[in-house]
Amino acid sequence: MLKDTAQKALSLLDLTDLTDTCDAAAIERLCAQAQTPFGPTAAICIWPRFVAQARGILGAGHAVNIATVVNFPSGDLAVAAVIAETKQAIADGADEIDLVIPYRDFITGDEAAVTEMVEAVRAVCTPPVRLKTILETGELKDPALIREASDLAIAAGTDFIKTSTGKVSVNATLPAAEIMLNAIKASGKPVGFKPAGGVRTVTDARDYLDRAAAILGAGWATPKTFRFGASGLLGDILSVLDGQSAPPAPASY
Tell me the per-residue pLDDT of 15-70, one tens digit each, with 9 for 90 and over.
999 999 999 999 999 999 999 999 999 999 999 999 999 999 999 888 999 999 99
Identify whether 110 is a catalytic site residue: no
Name the pairing type of β-strands 228-230 and 130-134. unpaired
Domain containing 166 — which CATH number?
A: 3.20.20.70
Is there a domain that residue 249 lies in? no
Under the banding of pLDDT at 50, 70 and 90, the label for residue 251 is: low
Catalytic one of 92, 194, 204, 236: 194
Is there a domain that residue 253 lies in? no
Domain ranges, residue 75: 2-242
Name the pairing type of β-strands 39-40 and 160-162. unpaired
Is there a domain that residue 252 lies in? no
Is there a domain that residue 208 lies in? yes
pLDDT in tens, 192-241: 999 999 999 999 999 999 999 999 999 999 999 999 999 899 999 999 99
Catalytic one of 8, 92, 159, 162: 162
Is there a domain that residue 206 lies in? yes
Identify whether 98 is a catalytic site residue: yes
Is there a domain that residue 250 lies in? no
pLDDT for the residue numbered 247: 47
pLDDT for the residue numbered 250: 52
Identify whether 105 is a catalytic site residue: no
Catalytic one of 98, 151, 159, 236: 98
Total tally of structural domains belonging to the chain: 1
Is there a domain that residue 251 lies in? no
How confident is the model over 101-118, as a mean pLDDT? 98
pLDDT in tens, 141-157: 999 999 999 999 999 99
Is there a domain that residue 81 lies in? yes
pLDDT in tens, 182-200: 999 999 999 999 999 999 9
Helical residues (DSSP H) of the chain, grouped into ranges:
2-11, 24-33, 51-58, 79-92, 103-107, 111-124, 137-140, 143-155, 174-187, 202-216, 233-242
Global pTM reads 0.95
